[in-house]
Amino acid sequence: MASDDIWILGIAMTKFGKHSDKDIVDLGAEAVMAALTDAGVSMREIGVLAAGNLMGGGGFGQMLQKQVGQTGIPVYNVTNACATGATALRTAIMAVKAGEVKFGLAVGAEKLAGAGLLGGGGSAKKDGNKWEPKGRFGSVAPTDGRIGTDTMPGTFAQVGMEYGHKYGGVSFELFARISEKNHAHSTLNPMAAYQKQFTLDEIMNDMMIAYPNTRPMCSANCDGAAAAVVCSGETLKTLSLEQQRRAIKVSASVLTTDPYQESCQVLPDVNTLTRNAAKIAYEQAGVAPSDLDLVELHDCFATAELVHYDNLMLCPEGGAVDFFDSGATWRTGSTPVNVSGGLESKGHPIAATGIANIWEICHHLRNEAGNRQIADAKVGLAHVIGLGSACGIHILERSGR
C-alpha cells in the first residue's frame, strides 16, 4: 500500500577523517550495521538498498551486500555528485512510499582523504598556456565558472562574489567569520574530522585557495560513511514504543536540478535549483523557514553558506549578510546553521555527506546531540548540492509519541 507517511527509523555515521586501515566497503558496512542496530531491525527485513558512492568506480552496493548480507533484494547504485547521499535516501524513501517494501536502507560512503582539489580533472593539459576543448564534454565543462576556473573552490568563490556584486555588503572578513563560526561549532562534535577552533586572523592569514576562500574556509576531503533505515507510518505502528519514540518523520524529501534559463544552459545555477527545492520542501512539510529549529546546509565553502541562507529563504532576498551579522546562525542564535561544524570542519566524504547532514538533524530532534544539543528542537532542514547540478532537501520533524 502506498504511503506518504515516511519515518527514519535508524541512522548512523562513522567518524569522518582519515581511515587508512579501512576501505570503502569497510566504512559502508560499519555505517550500515550501526544504522540497523539503531533501527532495531536486521538486514533480512530490508527490502531495498540504495548505495551511494561517487569515486569508487561502480558496483559498490553489491560489494557492500557481501559484507552486510546478500538477501537478493534490489540494489540501486547511486551517483549524483555531492547530492549522492541525499539521492540514495530519496531512492529508498520512494520505494517505501510506493508500498513496494516495508523497510528501505540508504548508505553513502567515500574514500577521499588526501584527494586534493576536486573538479580539476586530475591531469595536466598538453600545453599549460593553451585551453584545448575536446568534444562535447571538453567544450562544456560541468564545473566551469564565468572566468574559466574548473575547480570547485574557484567556482564557489565566484558564486559568493556574484552575490556581493548583486546585493553588496560582502567582504573577505565576512566569509572568514562564517568559517570561524563553523570551526567553533566543530569543537562540540566528536564525529567531525577536525575539532579545532580558529581565530579570525588564523583563517584570514591561512593559505589562499581561491579568493575569498582560504584553506579553513574550504570543505575537508576525508573518509567516511553514513546510513539510514526508513519505513512507513503503518509499519512504524507495528514496532515497539521505543522505536516509535525515536523515529523521525520525513516531512519533505525533494530533489531538483538546474532549471531552463534563456541566458545560459551551461553554467551550473546553484541558487535557483536550491530555491526551487526549498519552495517545494516547505510546501510538502507545511512549515515555513521561521519554523526551523536548526539547519545543516552544504557549506562546501564559506561563500556557499552565505548564498544558501538566501536560497533556503532563511532571510529576505538579498539579506544574507544582515542575517549572518545578526548572530542568527550561531548555535545560540534564532536559526542555528551547521551546528555540526559543517563541511569545513566535519569533513566532506562526498557520498556520505547528504545522509550525515540528516544524522545531525535527527540527533537534535531525538535530544541525543550531547553538548551541542539545540534545546527543544522539533523541526530541522538538511540540504546538499552537487554541481552538475542536483539539490537535495529533507525536512525532518520530531516524533510526537
- Contact predicate 53/21, CB 8 Å: no
Tens of pLDDT, residue by residue over 234-256, are 999 999 999 999 999 999 999 99
In 3-state terms, what secondary structure has residue 254?
Answer: strand
- Contact predicate 219/297, CB 8 Å: no
Q: Which domains does the chain have, with CATH numbers?
A: 6-114+221-396 (3.40.47.10)
For the stretch 316-323, contacts whose Cβ atoms lie closer than 8 Å and that sit 24 or more positions apart, written own/partner, are 318/166, 318/167, 319/167, 320/163, 320/167, 321/167, 321/168, 321/169, 321/170, 321/174, 322/169
Predicted TM-score (pTM) of this structure: 0.93
Count of positions (residues) in the chain: 401
Within 10 Å of residue 250's Cβ, how many Cβ atoms?
A: 25
Tens of pLDDT, residue by residue over 272-312, are 999 999 999 999 999 999 999 999 999 999 999 999 999 99
- Contact predicate 357/106, CB 8 Å: no
Tens of pLDDT, residue by residue over 46-89, are 999 999 999 987 899 999 999 999 999 999 999 999 999 999 99
- Contact predicate 50/229, CB 8 Å: no
More confident residue, 393 or 115: 393
Q: How many separate helices (H) and strands (E) can be counted in the chain?
A: 14, 11
- Written as nine digits, the cell of 83 is 547530492
**What's the burial of 187, exposed, middle or buried (CB within 10 Å: 0-12/13-18/19+)?**
middle
More confident residue, 150 or 348: 348
What is the number of alpha carbons within 13 Å of residue 75 lying toward its C-beta?
19
Q: What is the mean pLDDT of the chain?
A: 92
Q: Please report, to the nearest 10 degrees, the dihedral formed by the alpha carbons of residues 188, 253, 158, 258 taken in order.
A: 170
